[in-house]
């Protein structure tokens, strides 16, 4: 991926807090080739605190993603504003310890941050994407259509008539 626009040269940085700003739109999302977020406009304020043994990156992401409603298939703007942190510790080899802690080699020259920014935005997208006009409806999919099961054995059918005893043998097969 050609996401070099979203990388920071950390070798030349002094041990203090640094601030960076990134702006990106639809071309950024096309680089990832997924349908989760295809369009949007975002700004990221990055605060990078470089220390002797680690770097702490705080991403303040703000913007809107253009999503497709799961119910009506209409596009709508979904605002996103979130803050995420990642700690990059120096170690022997590159590896991910947790979602917030990454190990990088001491001789790493640049941090590629585009993938992290995309993942933070993707995590802010709700599983159920509803157009704002459907959010306040009384008949929400989650509350309607409750199913009640009965385990009561009845020898009468729905009309109140007695069931033929020969069919009781079949009831025991349950």
User: pLDDT band at residue 1, thresholds of 50, 70 and 90?
Assistant: very low
pTM greater than the 0.75 cutoff? no
Instruction: Report the distance separating Cα 22 and Cα 6, nearest Å.
Output: 7
C-beta separation of 67 from 80 below 8 A: no
In the structure encoding, which two tokens stand for residue 142, read together?
């989650």
The candidate with the shortest Cα–Cα distance to 59, out of 125, 118, 126, 10, is 118
pLDDT at 119: 93
pLDDT in tens, 62-101: 999 999 998 999 999 999 999 999 999 999 999 999 989 9
The candidate with the shortest Cα–Cα distance to 19, out of 58, 52, 53, 51, is 58
pLDDT, the chain, mean:
85
């Amino acid at each position: 991926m050609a996401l070099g626009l979203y990388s920071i040269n950390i070798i030349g940085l002094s041990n203090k807090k640094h601030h960076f700003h990134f702006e990106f739109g639809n071309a950024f999302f096309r680089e990832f080739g997924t349908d989760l977020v295809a369009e949007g406009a975002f700004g990221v304020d990055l605060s990078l605190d470089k220390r002797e043994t680690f770097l702490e990156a705080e991403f303040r992401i703000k913007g809107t993603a253009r999503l497709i409603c799961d119910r009506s298939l209409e596009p709508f703007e979904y605002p996103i504003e979130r803050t995420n942190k990642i700690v990059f510790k120096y170690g022997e080899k590159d590896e991910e310890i947790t979602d917030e802690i990454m190990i990088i080699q001491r001789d790493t020259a640049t941090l590629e941050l585009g993938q992290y920014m995309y993942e933070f935005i993707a995590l802010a997208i709700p599983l159920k994407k509803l157009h704002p006009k459907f959010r306040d409806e009384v008949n929400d999919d989650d509350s309607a259509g409750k199913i009640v099961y009965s385990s009561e054995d009845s020898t009468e059918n729905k009309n109140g008539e007695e069931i033929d005893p020969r069919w009781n043998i079949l009831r025991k097969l349950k």
